């Protein structure tokens, strides 16, 4: 869908339930994926996805596309809910990401054991990252958002996002190197 | 010793060359495959949202109609009251005008004019 059509759909969605339904269908998978990447639990991801869209419905009239793109606006709502979720989780002290689930869902038996292990280590390292850095990676690689849009979601400048991204890659590499050294001590 | 910010920044750049960064990006893109929601969940939430949106917009329209009716009735009442008040003042002013004209036309008594 091109930009003009999307803008038209967003304008209609402010007073037309069917147009809102179309917007929902357009974004639901991405919002769910975003929540799943953070929670690692389908139930929690579904709950946060519903809350994101109900909140979007309530705030739809106040949305103006001059300030920020619709997808960045929607991901910002999702991000705020994820931040609250992390706050609640830290009180409950549970381990969120089910890496095995993630792998089981997306890798067939043909995937090599080595590749699977490498991916598992990487996903576990991503899981150990602070919430903001994890959000950055999900938005960049799964949702293909630009640095400016990620900045709009996280409330940071484009330059700050570039710098955060660079630091995230370095910490990921450090984590994986340390893990490899622990497994194979010289 | 405290390292100046600029030095640290240059060190990071050297540590992570564009080639290494590109390799990491491809690994991350391969690892972060989108996870799809249950289609039943998507369908149910979609239905519920459209229903909720429809009821919200109906409620909003009802509120708008109520405010329109209140405005129309209030405006009508104000117009009638305003008209009545205006008429009342107009009549009073008219009556005063007539009385003043009549007073001016009464001739002075003869005794008073002789003295």
- The whole-angstrom distance between residue B61's C-alpha and the CA centroid of its chain comes to 15
Q: Which helix (H) or strand (E) holds A3?
A: helix A3-13
Q: What is the CATH number of domain A3-183?
A: 1.10.1740.10
Instruction: List alpha helices for A60-157, DSSP H.
Output: 70-92, 99-106, 113-128, 131-137, 147-154
Cβ atoms of A176 and A122 within 8 Å: the answer is yes
- Are B50 and A53 a contacting pair at CB < 8 A? no
The domain spans of chain B are 5-104
The domain spans of chain A are 3-183
A58-62, A148-152, A170-174, B14-18: which range is least confident on average? B14-18
As for the ipTM of the complex, it is 0.75
Measured distance between the N- and C-terminal CA atoms of chain A, rounded to whole angstroms: 55
Cβ atoms of A133 and A165 within 8 Å: the answer is no
Mention every residue, 6+ apart, whose C-beta is less than 8 A from residue A173: B16, B24
- Burial (CB < 10 A; 0-12, 13-18, 19+), residue A38, is buried
Nearest Cα to Cα of residue A184 among A111, A98, A121, A123: A121
Mention every residue, 6+ apart, whose C-beta is less than 8 A from residue A51: A81
Q: What's the pLDDT at B37? A: 94
- Tell me, yes or no, if B40 comes closer than 8 A to chain A by beta carbon: no
Contacts of B45 in chain A (CB under 8 A): 24, 28, 46, 49-50, 53
Contacts of A137 in chain B (CB under 8 A): 28, 32
Q: Which of A15, A19, A21, A26 to mutate to test the interface with B (most CBs of B within 10 A)?
A: A21
Residue A15 DSSP class: T
- Burial (CB < 10 A; 0-12, 13-18, 19+), residue A17, is buried
Which residue numbers in chain B have pLDDT < 50?
Answer: 6-11
- Tell me, yes or no, if B46 comes closer than 8 A to chain A by beta carbon: yes
Taking only the tens place, the pLDDT of each residue in A43-76 is: 999 999 999 999 999 998 888 876 788 999 999 9
CA A59, CA A73: separation in Å to the nearest integer?
Answer: 10
Closest-approach residue (CA) in chain A for B44: A50
The mean per-residue pLDDT over the stretch A101-108 comes to 47
Q: Where are the beta strands (DSSP E) in B7-54?
A: none
Contacts of A166 in chain B (CB under 8 A): 12, 16
Taking only the tens place, the pLDDT of each residue in B27-54 is: 888 888 888 999 999 999 999 999 999 9
Mean pLDDT (chain B, rounded): 81
Residue B102 DSSP class: H
């Amino acid at each position: 869908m091109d930009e003009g059509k999307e803008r038209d759909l967003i304008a209609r969605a402010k007073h037309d339930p069917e147009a809102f339904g179309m917007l929902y269908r357009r974004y639901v998978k991405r919002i769910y994926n975003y929540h799943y990447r953070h929670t690692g639990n389908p139930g929690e991801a579904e709950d946060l996805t519903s809350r994101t869209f109900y909140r979007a419905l309530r705030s739809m009239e106040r949305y103006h596309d001059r300030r920020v793109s619709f997808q960045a606006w929607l991901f910002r709502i999702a991000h705020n809910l994820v931040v609250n979720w992390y706050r609640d989780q830290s009180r409950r002290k549970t381990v969120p990401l089910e890496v095995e689930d993630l792998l089981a869902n997306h890798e067939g038996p043909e995937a090599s054991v080595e590749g699977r292990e490498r991916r598992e280590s990487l996903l576990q390292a991503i899981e150990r990252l602070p919430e903001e850095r994890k959000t950055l990676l999900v938005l960049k690689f799964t949702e293909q958002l630009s640095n400016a849009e990620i900045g709009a979601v996280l409330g940071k400048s484009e330059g700050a996002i570039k710098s955060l991204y660079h630091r995230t890659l370095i910490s990921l590499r450090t984590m994986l190197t340390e893990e490899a050294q622990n497994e194979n001590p010289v | 010793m405290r390292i100046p910010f600029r030095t640290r920044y240059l060190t990071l750049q050297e540590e992570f060359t564009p080639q290494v960064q590109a390799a990491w990006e491809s690994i991350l893109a391969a690892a972060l495959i989108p996870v799809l929601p249950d289609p039943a969940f998507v369908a149910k939430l979609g239905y519920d949202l459209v229903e909720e949106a429809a009821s919200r917009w109906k409620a909003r329209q009802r509120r708008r109609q109520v405010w329109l009716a209140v405005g129309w009735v209030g405006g009508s009442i104000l117009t009638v009251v305003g008209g009545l008040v205006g008429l009342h003042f107009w009549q009073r002013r008219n009556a005063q005008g007539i009385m003043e004209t009549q007073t001016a036309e009464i001739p002075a008594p003869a005794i008073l004019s002789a003295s």
